[in-house]
């Protein structure tokens, strides 16, 4: 009996840990069978990596505050403002694009600092605080553009700038390499460095973190700063991709970013937001969205897919976690009953 319980617990653990990667493989196989001439091709892979790199970067940024138990809802409006600012400087000011991007990333970090201060010192819930700052950022986007679009000069944007998104290395777009660097960097920080472990402690039990000497306020603020700096970088890539400033662009990136970040906590490191899990979750969304679009589905099917995927994956993770806990409790009870008495 105890052996069966242990086997059941192990199966539940494996299901929760590897369920999403297995789902990604299954989805790819299904779409490859249904669309044999267009889906399993290198050109389609290039398109997926190019189109989904910005949502993936934003998902990795959104993951950082989630580790601490907070949410940054300003990211969608932040990436919109960032790309508008980049386009405004490129269109109307004679400043090198490298300095413009540095300015935007630093500006994003300042927005994150404001979010962190509102959450930690003003004691405003992160949902409300970041939703408020997001609305302010959206207002700034409208103010800068006057409600219209910023069109680049007649000669176009510098090739060196557009190449930060369009350039390919070994046939793969630059966006893919940015995502990989972020996954590796955030994975190392969260899993191996004291700062990452401190963030996880804060997310699991803020009160306990303070009791053991973890500077909760400081690290929580750092998480918002890092998320917004990444958002600023994503805005630079968005400007290089779109090559036009659109004040209404950005908010549609919010749902995919959070779906990826939250789905990521249901795989690899079950129950914990993690970089590799977020990468796998974004891969599932990218595979599914690309297949749906190639099948000619209506525009509303994509957000429907994102929402249903989130509900299904979270439900699966919750089920496997409950099975694992139940099996563990049963195994402990059986062990106590079978323990010899003196």
DSSP state of 117: H
> For the residues 329-337, what does the mean pLDDT come to?
65
- Compute how many other C-beta atoms are within 10 angstroms of the C-beta atom of residue 167: 14
In this model, does residue 296 exceed pLDDT 80? yes
How would residue 94 be classed by pLDDT, with cut points 50, 70 and 90? Answer: confident
Q: Is residue 167 part of a domain?
A: yes
How would residue 299 be classed by pLDDT, with cut points 50, 70 and 90? Answer: confident
Q: Is residue 141 part of a domain?
A: yes
Separation of alpha carbons 271 and 267, rounded Å: 8
Distances (CA, A) of 140 to 61, 130, 146, 280: 22, 15, 10, 34
How would residue 5 be classed by pLDDT, with cut points 50, 70 and 90? Answer: very low
In this model, does residue 320 exceed pLDDT 60? no
Q: Is residue 247 part of a domain?
A: yes
Least confident of 60-74, 115-129, 259-273: 259-273
Residue 10: CB partners within 8 Å, gap ≥ 6?
Answer: none
268: domain CATH number is 1.10.3470
Whether 237 contacts 53, CB under 8 Å: yes
DSSP state of 158: -
- Cα within 13 Å of Cα(326), Cβ side: 10
Separation of alpha carbons 80 and 245, rounded Å: 9
pLDDT in the model for residue 97: 94
For residue 118 the two structure tokens come to 């509102």
Q: Is residue 136 part of a domain?
A: yes
Average pLDDT of the chain is: 86
How would residue 20 be classed by pLDDT, with cut points 50, 70 and 90? Answer: confident
> For the residues 93-102, what does the mean pLDDT come to?
92
Residue 164: CB partners within 8 Å, gap ≥ 6?
Answer: 174, 236, 237, 240
For residue 252 the two structure tokens come to 């549609």
Q: Is residue 9 part of a domain?
A: yes
For residue 52 the two structure tokens come to 């989904």
The CA radius of gyration of the chain, in Å to the nearest whole number, is 22
Residue numbers of the domain that contains 204: 2-335
In this model, does residue 73 exceed pLDDT 50? yes
Q: Is residue 341 part of a domain?
A: no
Q: What is the pLDDT of residues 183-215, one digit of tens each?
A: 999 999 999 999 999 999 998 888 888 888 889
| pLDDT above 70: percentage of residues in the chain | 86
Distances (CA, A) of 21 to 60, 282, 319: 17, 11, 17
In this model, does residue 65 exceed pLDDT 70? yes
In this model, does residue 119 exceed pLDDT 60? yes
Separation of alpha carbons 259 and 278, rounded Å: 9
pLDDT in the model for residue 302: 80
Q: Where are the alpha helices (DSSP H) in the chain?
A: 2-34, 42-67, 75-92, 97-120, 126-145, 159-166, 174-192, 194-204, 206-211, 216-242, 254-264, 275-294, 301-338
In this model, does residue 334 exceed pLDDT 80? no
pLDDT in the model for residue 131: 94
pLDDT in the model for residue 220: 95
- Compute how many other C-beta atoms are within 10 angstroms of the C-beta atom of residue 136: 14
Distances (CA, A) of 67 to 135, 180, 207, 302, 324: 24, 19, 15, 27, 22
In this model, does residue 303 exceed pLDDT 60? yes
Separation of alpha carbons 263 and 255, rounded Å: 12
How would residue 175 be classed by pLDDT, with cut points 50, 70 and 90? Answer: very high
How would residue 13 be classed by pLDDT, with cut points 50, 70 and 90? Answer: low
Separation of alpha carbons 214 and 227, rounded Å: 20
Residue 266 phi, psi (nearest 5): -100, 10
Separation of alpha carbons 66 and 301, rounded Å: 27
Q: Is residue 294 part of a domain?
A: yes
Whether 162 contacts 243, CB under 8 Å: yes
| Pairing relationship of beta strands 168-169 and 172-173 according to DSSP bridges | antiparallel
Residue 119: CB partners within 8 Å, gap ≥ 6?
Answer: 70, 125, 126, 129, 220, 221, 224
pLDDT in the model for residue 232: 97
Least confident of 82-96, 257-271, 316-330: 316-330
125 conformational bin, left if phi > 0, alpha if psi -120 to 50, beta if neither: beta
Which of the two residues, 331 and 81, has the higher pLDDT score? 81
Q: Is residue 340 part of a domain?
A: no
Domain count, the chain: 1
For residue 195 the two structure tokens come to 């700062």
């Amino acid at each position: 009996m105890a052996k069966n319980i242990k086997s059941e617990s192990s199966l539940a653990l494996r299901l929760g840990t590897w369920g999403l990667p297995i789902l990604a493989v299954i989805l790819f196989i299904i779409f490859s069978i249904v669309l044999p001439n267009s889906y399993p091709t290198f050109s389609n892979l290039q398109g997926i990596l190019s189109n989904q790199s910005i949502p993936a970067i934003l998902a990795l940024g959104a993951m950082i505050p989630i580790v601490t138990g907070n949410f940054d809802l300003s990211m969608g409006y932040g990436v919109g403002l960032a790309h508008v600012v980049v386009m405004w400087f490129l269109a109307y000011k004679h400043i090198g694009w490298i300095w413009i991007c540095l300015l935007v990333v630093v500006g994003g970090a300042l927005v994150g600092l404001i979010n962190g201060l509102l959450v930690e010192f003003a004691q405003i819930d992160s949902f409300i605080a970041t939703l408020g700052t997001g609305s302010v950022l959206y207002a700034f986007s409208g103010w800068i553009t006057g409600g219209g679009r910023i069109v680049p000069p007649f000669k176009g944007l510098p090739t060196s700038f557009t190449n930060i998104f369009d350039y390919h290395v070994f046939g793969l777009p630059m966006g893919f390499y940015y995502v990989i660097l972020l996954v590796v960097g955030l994975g190392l920080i969260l899993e191996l460095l004291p700062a990452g472990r401190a963030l996880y402690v804060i997310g699991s039990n803020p009160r306990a973190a303070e009791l053991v000497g973890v500077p909760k306020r400081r690290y929580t603020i750092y998480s918002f700063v890092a998320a917004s700096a990444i958002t600023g970088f994503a805005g630079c890539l968005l400007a290089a991709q779109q090559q036009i400033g659109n004040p209404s662009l950005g908010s549609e990136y919010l749902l995919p970013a959070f779906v990826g970040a939250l789905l990521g906590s249901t795989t690899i490191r079950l129950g914990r937001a993690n970089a590799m899990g977020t990468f796998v979750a974004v891969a599932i969304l990218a595979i599914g969205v690309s297949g749906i679009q190639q099948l000619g589905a209506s525009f509303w099917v994509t957000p429907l897919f994102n929402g249903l995927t989130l509900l299904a994956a979270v439900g699966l993770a919750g089920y496997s976690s409950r099975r694992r806990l139940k099996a563990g409790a049963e195994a402990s009870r059986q062990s106590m009953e079978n323990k010899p008495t003196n």
